[in-house]
Amino acid sequence: MLTLLNLLKDGRFHSGEALGAALGVSRSAVWKQLQHIEAELNLPIHKVRGKGYQLASPLVFLNAEAIASNAPALPWPAHISDTIDSTNAEALRLVDAGCVPPFLVLAEQQTAGRGRRGRKWVSPFAQNVYYSLVLRIEGGLRQLEGLSLVVGLAVMHALRDLGVQGAALKWPNDVLVGNKKIAGILLELVGDPADICHVVLGVGVNVNMQKAEDVDQQWTSVWLETGFAIDRNHLVAQLGVQLQDYLSRHKTGGFAALQEEWEQNHLWQGRAVSLIAGANQIDGDVLGVDHQGALRLSVDGVEKIYSGGELSLRLRDDS
Q: Which residues are annotated as a binding site for biotin?
A: 86-88, 110, 114-116, 181
Selection from 57, 51, 50, 55 nearest residue 37 by Cα? 55
Residues forming the annotated binding site?
Answer: 86-88, 110, 114-116, 181
* Residue positions annotated with a catalytic role: 116, 181, 314
Separation CA 127–CA 232 (nearest Å): 8
Peptide bond connecting 102 to the previous residue in cis, omega within 30 degrees of 0: yes
What gap in Å lies between CA 249 and CA 158, rounded to an integer? 16
Contact in structure between 107 and 82 (CB atoms under 8 Å): yes
CB distance 276 to 184 below 8 Å: no
Angle at CA of residue 198, ends 257 and 170, nearest 5°: 45
Residues 129 and 208: their CA atoms lie apart, in Å, by: 9
Q: Burial letters for 291-308: b for 16+ Cβ neighbours within 10 Å, e otherwise? A: ebbbbbbeeeeeeeebee
Q: How far apart are CA 225 and CA 128, in angstroms?
A: 14
Describe the crossing of helices 147-161 and 232-253 by its angle, rounded to 10 degrees: 140
Residue 269, classified by CB atoms within 10 Å of its CB into exposed (0-12), middle (13-18) or buried (19+), is middle
Query: DSSP per residue over 249-267, as a string?
Result: HHHHHTGGGTHHHHHHTBT
- 149 phi, psi to nearest 5 deg: -70, -35
Q: Mention every residue, 6+ apart, whose C-beta is less than 8 A from residue 192.
A: none
